[in-house]
Chain A
Amino acid sequence: MNQDHAAGSARESAGKVAVRAARRRSGTGEWLYRSISAGVVLAVFLLWWLVSARQWVNPLFLPSPAAVWAAFTDIVREGYKGESLLSHIGTSMRRLFLALGLAFVTAVPLGILCGRFRWLRAVFDPFVEFYRPLPPLAYYTLLILWFGITDVSKVLLLFLGAFAPLFITAVFSVQRLSADRINGAKSLGAKGWKLYVFVIFPSILPELLTGLRTAVGVSYATLVAAEMVAAVSGVGWMVLDASKFLRSDIMYLGIIVMALIAVAIDLIIRMLIRRVSPWIEH
């Protein structure tokens, strides 16, 4: 009897675990997860509002949400130091995407070739491995020395930051391609550049986009830092400049804007990955 009962309850709890696992995968679990996140964000926001409304903290350290919002509307209307907010964002984005585009069209073909030909990889590997672990700001000083506080030095800095992750992704994904994939394509008549354009590139595109996500992370962080070190425009510069005048409302605003842009870029790339590789489970 007792044993029966124990076995029954064990079966029951196993069933519960299965149900719980199923729920986690299903819509209700996802909904719960999101509402917890939303609730916590709302709570922190309320706390922020409460702390500044009761003046528990010097507004210099923590301006009220209303002050940040006012700074936002003010900058949207008047701009910051003669340039509109959108143009500051545009400047930053132009630097970022120019560098990412340049890195993609150079690192990917080079990486693919290095993945196919060992001797070519032997040529490029020492240089990539030398500069890859360096913090980009370490050689930024050199770039400024050569190109001044221009967009050229910044784009080049971001380009170098994005190049390494894309290059390495391309090399390794080409090396991981199955022999059957390449052999099969050759037996269907793919040869020379056609093999690269119609088979190898589309084969590694999902991995390349994942590499691009990493590259965006690296170069975005570098961008903000670079704009803080030496620039006269851009969102990063705006935050640094505001700090010189103790305009913490603008600093908070700038940080929030930068975070939202980063999240948006990441979302777009993730959507792109799902679009181009529907056969991979995400």
Chain B
Amino acid sequence: MESIGHEKSANKKIERGGESGPEASAASERGIRLREIGLSYWNGKAEEEALHRIDLEIAPGEFVAVLGPSGCGKTSLLNVIAGYIRPSGGSVTINGRPHTAPDSEVGVVFQQPNLFPWLSLARNIEFGLRMKNRPKQERQARVAYFLDMMGLTSSGRRLPHQLSGGMKQRAAIARTLAAEPEIVLLDEPFSALDALTRENMQSHLREIWCQTGKCLFFITHDVDEALLLATRLIVMHPGPGRIVEDLSNPLAGSGSFEEIRSGREYAELRRWLIGRIGHHAG
């Protein structure tokens, strides 16, 4: 436990070092930048603080997993980044521009597939490109590409209600990616799936991240999922919601899921993370 604690602070140092490096000023333009984000709302009796002075910078190509007990404000934070909620204080900057309303630059994958039930899978995936008035040929080619990537080619003409939960969630991810966002926010996208489908989807997501190099902001309550997928781990605590841990994942990309899981470091890190997540209750 102690040793990992040290490691964590070492990682933090590495990150800070990267920030102040020579190409930092150009690099910091891209990606997500949160400045002193605060969020409070009136709960009927008193002002309640959901997020407290959150500062966060996420570089392009990072895969960030956000962990924390329920009520720690992780979904609120996602809603602020997406532009769904206006923060009570602070600012969200995406690729150097202030981001105050949802647009296609920041894609979102929800806990539920949230597909349009009246559109076929292919038409769902095509939706973002239609909104951008892309020519038909290009749309068809991109839809075919994403259907193939998700293994949904034979189901493209079917309506969402005719598909299994896993297929729907894959289609939802494809729909978000097809709209060509710079940044993808995912809110516990696999929590409603069964264990087998979930593992399948996790490797899918990692493949996609490797292929596209998109910046992913991934909320999960599953420590294993975070350790297997993310390059950076963030832990939030409630009352008010704040970031208490921010470290890069030493296991990132160090092999297949099986290899990562069987390592000694994995078990230690896992135990430490679970302790950090649950600590606030004590």
Contacts and interface: CB of A to CB of B under 8 A. Distances in A.
Interface of A: 179-181, 183-191, 194, 198-199, 202-203, 205, 276-279
B116 A187 contact: no
B131 A184 contact: no
Contact of A277 (B83, B102, B118, B175): B118
Nearest to B124: A188
B114 A189 contact: no
B59 interface: no
What does DSSP make chain B's interface, helix, strand, loop or mixed? loop
Contacts of A198: 127, 130-131
B104 A278 contact: no
Interface in B146-205: 159-161, 175-176, 179, 181
Contacts, number: 67
Contacts of A199: 116
B117 interface: yes
B110 to A, nearest CB: 5
B108 A279 contact: no
Given A183-B84, A187-B104, A278 B131 contact: no
A61 to B, nearest CB: 52
Contacts of B130: 198
B241 interface: no
Contacts of A180: 110, 112, 114
B132 interface: yes
Nearest to B160: A279
Contacts of A190: 127, 131
B124 to A, nearest CB: 9
A277 B114 CA distance: 16
Given A183-B102, A278-B161, A188 B110 contact: no
Interface residues of B, number: 28
Contacts of B83: 186-187
Given A187-B82, A187-B179, 14 more contacts: A180-B110, A181-B114, A183-B84, A184-B108, A184-B114, A186-B102, A187-B83, A188-B107, A188-B175, A189-B104, A189-B132, A189-B179, A203-B118, A278-B159
25 contacts: A179-B84, A180-B110, A183-B82, A183-B84, A184-B108, A184-B110, A185-B116, A187-B104, A187-B108, A187-B179, A188-B104, A188-B107, A188-B131, A188-B176, A188-B179, A189-B104, A189-B128, A191-B103, A194-B131, A198-B127, A198-B131, A276-B118, A277-B117, A277-B118, A279-B159
A203 B48 CA distance: 34
A202 B159 contact: no
Nearest to B79: A183
A276 B108 CA distance: 27
Nearest to A195: B131
A279 B106 contact: no
Contact of A188 (B112, B117, B128, B159): B128
A276 B159 CA distance: 12
Contacts of A185: 116, 127
- A183, A191, A279, most chain B CB atoms within 10 A: A183
Contact of A205 (B84, B107, B118, B179): B118
